[in-house]
Amino acid sequence: ASSLHLLRFFLNEYCNWNTLIRLNKVSSSFSKRDERLFLFLYNSHVEEYESVLFFLRNQSSHLRSTSFGIFLERIRFYG
Protein backbone atom coordinates (compact mmCIF):
# COMPACT_ATOMS: atom_id res chain seq x y z
CA ALA A 1 0.00 0.00 0.00
CA SER A 2 2.93 2.36 0.58
CA SER A 3 3.89 2.13 -3.10
CA LEU A 4 0.39 3.30 -4.01
CA HIS A 5 0.80 6.34 -1.78
CA LEU A 6 4.13 7.08 -3.44
CA LEU A 7 2.49 6.72 -6.85
CA ARG A 8 -0.31 9.07 -5.77
CA PHE A 9 2.28 11.59 -4.59
CA PHE A 10 4.10 11.57 -7.94
CA LEU A 11 0.88 11.75 -9.93
CA ASN A 12 -0.36 14.59 -7.76
CA GLU A 13 2.88 16.51 -8.23
CA TYR A 14 2.75 15.86 -11.99
CA CYS A 15 -0.83 17.14 -12.18
CA ASN A 16 0.07 20.19 -10.09
CA TRP A 17 3.02 20.93 -12.36
CA ASN A 18 0.89 20.60 -15.50
CA THR A 19 -1.85 22.71 -13.94
CA LEU A 20 0.64 25.45 -13.15
CA ILE A 21 1.98 25.39 -16.71
CA ARG A 22 -1.53 25.60 -18.13
CA LEU A 23 -2.42 28.37 -15.71
CA ASN A 24 0.57 30.40 -16.84
CA LYS A 25 -0.20 29.85 -20.53
CA VAL A 26 -3.88 30.67 -20.33
CA SER A 27 -3.27 33.49 -17.84
CA SER A 28 -5.17 32.03 -14.92
CA SER A 29 -8.20 30.65 -16.71
CA PHE A 30 -8.83 28.32 -13.78
CA SER A 31 -9.95 29.78 -10.51
CA LYS A 32 -8.79 28.43 -7.16
CA ARG A 33 -12.21 26.87 -6.68
CA ASP A 34 -11.94 24.90 -9.94
CA GLU A 35 -8.44 23.78 -9.06
CA ARG A 36 -9.59 22.58 -5.63
CA LEU A 37 -12.49 20.73 -7.21
CA PHE A 38 -10.14 19.08 -9.69
CA LEU A 39 -7.76 18.00 -6.91
CA PHE A 40 -10.65 16.71 -4.81
CA LEU A 41 -11.99 14.62 -7.70
CA TYR A 42 -8.51 13.39 -8.55
CA ASN A 43 -7.80 12.31 -4.96
CA SER A 44 -11.16 10.57 -4.68
CA HIS A 45 -10.46 8.59 -7.86
CA VAL A 46 -7.01 7.61 -6.63
CA GLU A 47 -8.46 6.55 -3.28
CA GLU A 48 -11.08 4.45 -5.08
CA TYR A 49 -8.42 2.71 -7.19
CA GLU A 50 -6.32 2.10 -4.08
CA SER A 51 -9.24 0.46 -2.31
CA VAL A 52 -9.94 -1.77 -5.32
CA LEU A 53 -6.29 -2.80 -5.57
CA PHE A 54 -6.16 -3.43 -1.82
CA PHE A 55 -9.30 -5.59 -2.07
CA LEU A 56 -7.85 -7.58 -4.99
CA ARG A 57 -4.57 -8.08 -3.15
CA ASN A 58 -6.42 -9.40 -0.10
CA GLN A 59 -8.53 -11.70 -2.26
CA SER A 60 -5.50 -13.11 -4.05
CA SER A 61 -3.70 -13.80 -0.77
CA HIS A 62 -6.85 -15.48 0.57
CA LEU A 63 -7.09 -17.63 -2.57
CA ARG A 64 -3.42 -18.56 -2.30
CA SER A 65 -3.76 -19.63 1.31
CA THR A 66 -6.96 -21.58 0.54
CA SER A 67 -5.48 -23.38 -2.46
CA PHE A 68 -2.28 -24.11 -0.51
CA GLY A 69 -4.39 -25.60 2.30
CA ILE A 70 -6.21 -27.85 -0.18
CA PHE A 71 -2.86 -28.87 -1.63
CA LEU A 72 -1.60 -29.85 1.83
CA GLU A 73 -4.78 -31.83 2.51
CA ARG A 74 -4.28 -33.77 -0.73
CA ILE A 75 -0.69 -34.56 0.23
CA ARG A 76 -1.83 -35.85 3.61
CA PHE A 77 -4.65 -37.88 2.05
CA TYR A 78 -2.51 -39.52 -0.62
CA GLY A 79 0.72 -39.64 1.40
pLDDT per position as a tens digit, 36-54: 888 888 888 888 888 888 8
Give domain limits for the chain. 2-78
Q: Find out whether 53 and 37 touch, Cβ atoms under 8 Å.
A: no
Diameter of the chain by CA atoms?
Answer: 76
d(CA 42, CA 48): 10
More confident residue, 76 or 61: 61
CB atoms within 10 A of CB 37: 12
First to last CA, the chain: 40
Average pLDDT, the chain: 67
What is the pTM for the complete model shown?
A: 0.38
d(CA 43, CA 15): 11
